[in-house]
Amino acid sequence: MAAPTLLVYNLNEAEMMGLRFLCAGLKIAVRGVPVSDYGQPLAALAGLCPRVAGADAGEDFSGEMLVMANFSQRQFHGLLDALRRNRLCGGALKAVLTPANAEWDSAKLHGELCREREALRGKE
């Protein structure tokens, strides 16, 4: 199994530093995704397949987002618990890389997560 990797979008420097420190203790690699890579498939950003040559930069978005790739259940729950305890990335959208979304680009995932969040808020 590939190493667990956390793809990170739009965090400020202080949160990114705290997240890197926290993830180092959990043996999770952290990769900040630049806007120029938003058009790449999520699987490529996580190092699971080759990057797409000539891919567009993709659509930009401003919201914070975390994508967990290659996590065991224990690592998944450990990271979420540590984020809560340390009050990091509370407002960030969070997702797990799956076969269903692996070929999506970052903006498509962000859009889907925003729609899900709105749908859940409508049910409250």
- The secondary structure of the chain, three-state, reads CCCCEEEEECCCHHHHHHHHHHHHHCCCEEEECCHHHCCCCHHHHCCCCCCCCCCCCCCCCCCCEEEEECCCHHHHHHHHHHHHHCCCCCCCEEEECCCCCCCCCHHHHHHHHHHHHHHHHHHC
Who's near 58: CB < 8 A, 6+ residues apart?
35, 37, 38, 39, 40, 105, 106, 107
> How high is the pLDDT of residue 59?
86
Domain ranges across the chain: 5-123
Q: Percent of the chain, pLDDT > 90?
A: 82
Note the pLDDT tens digit of each residue in 79-107: 999 999 999 999 999 999 999 999 999 99
> How high is the pLDDT of residue 2?
80
pTM for the predicted model, two decimal places: 0.93
Note the pLDDT tens digit of each residue in 37-51: 999 999 999 999 999
